[in-house]
A and B are shown apart, each in its own frame.
Chain A
Amino acid sequence: MSKDLRNPLARARGLGSAKEGVGHWMTQRITALALVFLTLWFVITVLGLMHADYATARATIAKPWNAVLLIALIITMFKHAVLGLQVVIEDYVHTRWLEMTSLVLIKFIAVLAALTGVLAVLRIALGS
């Protein structure tokens, strides 16, 4: 070990049963950190729109910064959700084909939902 000149992170990369090292763990934490700020911003924004009419809600989402943060939220949220659901499925679903099907299904649903959300924000922001 003492002869190993790589740093601990470099050594941990490529390990684990899936040979993906600390990638899953690290991505889950980084998305979590981003979501602390993005979700709080989102909740405050939604609370501000509580009694707004349609035009006001649309105009608020259309503002560039809001649109950017919202797209960031959507992508980060679904990435984090897939990583979390994946672990839950791996822990509790012991029938192999059901486990694999669920793992693929959550990824398909998450990608489609994220794309739908991003397209919606773009339509609002670009006014189409």
Chain B
Amino acid sequence: MAQTGRPLSPHLQVYKWQVQMASSILHRATGIILAVGSLLIVWGLAALAAGQDAFATFTACATSAFGTIVMIGWTLAFFYHLCNGIRHLVQDTGKGYAIETFVRTSWMAIIVSIVLTVAVWAYVLTGSHA
């Protein structure tokens, strides 16, 4: 940044923490995670097209301990970006900007995404459907 000596506008460190800060930066962070994750989807599809051996390598990676941790994190990133994305789409219509609503929907996006992630992985890991 240019050292102009002019006064600066207030920045992050002078504000009290608010949930909207988290919901905002998490949307970007999860977006970046999902962009990387989209490459993994392509890997899976390419492996499925390439043949049984390639797909076995893919599923071995995906179901390994490290792969499972990545997939759980990915699920959480997906559901958060989905929930908060829907919140943003609603806000684009001009609704939901009252401070109380804004804070509540921030928490809702965070909590609902955690609940959905737990639900999906409970379904996957219990294996009762197999």
**Which residues of A are at the interface with B, using a C-beta cutoff of 8 A?**
29, 32-33, 35-36, 39-40, 43, 47, 50-51, 54, 57-58, 61, 70, 74, 77-78, 81, 84-85, 88, 94, 109, 113-114, 116-117, 119-121, 123-124
Contact of A47 among B42, B88, B120 (CB under 8 A): B120
Complex CA–CA separation, A36 to B89 (angstroms): 11
Q: Across the interface, do B123 and A117 meet the contact criterion of CB distance under 8 Å?
A: no
Q: Which chain B residues have a beta carbon within 8 Å of chain A's beta carbons?
A: 1, 28, 31-32, 34-35, 38-39, 41-42, 45-46, 48-49, 52, 55-56, 78, 82, 85-86, 88-89, 92, 120, 123-124, 127, 129-130
Closest approach, in angstroms, between the C-beta of B83 and any C-beta of chain A?
A: 10
B35 and A58 form a contact (CB under 8 A): no
Q: Are B38 and A78 in contact (CB under 8 A)?
A: yes
Q: How far is the CB of B85 from chain A (nearest CB, A)?
A: 5
On chain A, the residues within 8 Å of B49 by CB distance are: 119-121, 123-124
Q: Once the chains are docked, how many angstroms separate the CA of A29 from the CA of B88?
A: 9
Checking A50, A120, A124 against B42 with a beta-carbon cut-off of 8 angstroms, the contacting residue is A120
From residue A95, how far is it (CB to closest CB) to chain B in Å?
12
Contact present for A117 and B46 (CB under 8 Å): yes
Q: Tell me, rounded to whole Å, the shortest Cβ–Cβ distance linking B17 to chain A.
A: 21
